[in-house]
Amino acid sequence: MTPAERLHGMEKIANDASDVLTDSHTKHWLDSGTLIGAYRFSSHMPYDDDVDFGLLRSDFETNKNEIKQKLLLKGYSLFENSDHSYQVHSIDNPNNGHVDLFLFEPFPGKEGYLKLSSKYWHERAAYAGYEAGFPRDIIFHPDGSLQEIYLLGKIFHAPVNIDAYLKRWYNEPNILTNFMMTQTHGGGVCSHKVRIKDIREDPKSLKKMFDHLEKVYEGRFKRSDSRLAS
């Protein structure tokens, strides 16, 4: 289980980074492991160690300077990796969680589809099974809006078809219950996993997760809010 200090740090940086993106008129949504956490638990996953947002590259590039300055005022730095990949780090607590920003852009030759801007992440598509890209209509409503989702009581945005979106990310037939616990997150994305086919069939492990989240968030997490609590 992720230590309480890091989970609290992840919550803070998620809230702060989302506020900055919103103030900078940059549409964004919970993505990857953070979206899975909100989808399964209405909180961060109890074994995750970072925060993930998705956003359109065109929006981000337009507002990047404003985003960078507003993050700085809140005590964060915008770190640019190679290959159109970005992270948000706390200046004072760089080891207490960060935000990965996944940028999406139109898929050349595939009308109505988006692809990841990062060559690294796009190349991982073949491994994960989403090399065909992401249909725009599983992320956005026809008017370009997103749906709302709760993460520890705060409203964030999410793709309009979370199940279909996450299945394309992870190539899992039932993304709600099929857990993928990364053992060496820093040693390669999902390079070593503990797979649990259906977490509801392992009540001991599920209880451990619920107990940890209730202890960490001190009443702000209720297992009854989890879609896994049936």
The three-state DSSP-derived secondary structure of 159-187 is CCCHHHHHHHHHCCCCCCCCEEEECCHHH
Identify the pLDDT of residue 192. 58
Q: Does a structural domain hold residue 142? A: yes
Q: Does a structural domain hold residue 190? A: no
Q: Does a structural domain hold residue 189? A: no
pLDDT tens across the length of the chain (230 residues): 899 999 999 999 999 999 999 999 999 999 999 999 999 999 999 999 899 999 999 999 999 999 999 999 999 999 998 788 899 999 998 777 899 999 999 998 889 999 999 887 776 655 555 557 899 999 999 999 999 999 999 999 999 999 999 888 887 888 999 888 765 554 444 445 677 789 999 999 999 999 999 999 998 999 999 999 97
Token pair in block for residue 88: 């948000």
Domain ranges, residue 161 = 4-172
Identify the pLDDT of residue 94. 74
d(CA 205, CA 70): 40
What CATH code is carried by the domain that includes residue 122? Answer: 3.30.460
d(CA 208, CA 229): 13
Q: Does a structural domain hold residue 186? A: no
Taking only Cα atoms into account, the Rg of the chain, rounded to an integer number of angstroms, comes to 17
pTM to 2 decimal places: 0.93
Our count of domains for the chain comes to: 1
Identify the pLDDT of residue 84. 85
Q: Does a structural domain hold residue 62? A: yes
Q: Are 78 and 65 in contact (CB under 8 A)?
A: no
Q: Does a structural domain hold residue 195? A: no
Q: Does a structural domain hold residue 185? A: no
Q: Does a structural domain hold residue 101? A: yes
- Cα dist. 225→31, 39, 173, 222 in Å? 20, 10, 23, 6
Identify the pLDDT of residue 129. 54
